[in-house]
Amino acid sequence: MKKLSILFLLIFVSFSVNAQTAEELKKEQAPKKAKIAKLSGEVKALQAKIDALPGWRKGAFGTIGGSISGFNNWYSRSAPNASAGNIGITVNGFANLIEEDFFWRNSTAVNLGWVKLDVDGVSGDEGFDTATDIFTLSSLYGKRLNKKWAVSGLAEYRTTIIDNFNDPGYLDFGAGITWTPTNSLVVVMHPGNYNFVFSSGETVFESSLGAKIVADYTKKYGKLSVKSNLSVFQSYKTANLSNWTWTNSFGYTLWKGIGVGFELGLRNNKQEALNNAKITDANADFSSIDNKIQSYWLFGLSYAF
pTM: 0.79
Residue 4 corresponds to which amino acid?
Answer: L
- Confidence (pLDDT) at 35: 84
Query: Between β-strands 149-159 and 169-179, what pairing exists: parallel, antiparallel or unpaired?
Result: antiparallel
Q: How far apart are CA 9 and CA 116, in angstroms?
A: 70
Q: How far apart are CA 250 and CA 203, in angstroms?
A: 36
Q: How far apart are CA 218 and CA 58, in angstroms?
A: 12
Q: How far apart are CA 156 and CA 171, in angstroms?
A: 6
3-state secondary structure the chain: CHHHHHHHHHHHHHHHHHHHHHHHHHHHHHHHHHHHHHHHHHHHHHHHHHHHCCEEEEEEEEEEEEEEEEECCCCCCCCCCEEEEEEEEEEEEEEEEECCCEEEEEEEEEEEEEEEEEECCCCCCCCCEEEEEEEEEEEEEEEECCCCEEEEEEEEEEECCCCCCCCCEEEEEEEEEEECCCCCEEEEEEEEEEEEEECCCCCCCCCEEEEEEEEEEEEEECCEEEEEEEEEEEECCCHHHCEEEEEEEEEEEEECCEEEEEEEEEEEEHHHHHHHHCCCCCCCCCCCCCCCCEEEEEEEEEEEC
Q: Consecutive sets of 10 residues in the chain, 305 residues long: mean pLDDT of each?
A: 55 53 76 82 75 80 82 72 84 92 94 83 72 92 96 96 90 97 94 95 90 94 92 96 95 88 94 91 90 91 78
Q: How far apart are CA 138 and CA 170, in angstroms?
A: 11
Residue 235 corresponds to which amino acid?
Answer: S
Q: How many CB atoms neighbour CB 112 within 10 A?
A: 19
- Confidence (pLDDT) at 295: 93
- Confidence (pLDDT) at 3: 57
**CATH code for the structural domain at 54-304:** 2.40.230
Q: How far apart are CA 103 and CA 152, in angstroms?
A: 9
- Confidence (pLDDT) at 64: 87
* Selection from 226, 276, 266 nearest residue 246 by Cα: 266
- Confidence (pLDDT) at 237: 97
Buried b (16+ CB within 10 A) or exposed e, 280-304: eeeebebeebeeeeeebebebebbb
HSE-CB of 220 using CA atoms within 13 angstroms: 14
Q: How many CB atoms neighbour CB 245 within 10 A?
A: 20
- Confidence (pLDDT) at 229: 95
- Confidence (pLDDT) at 20: 55
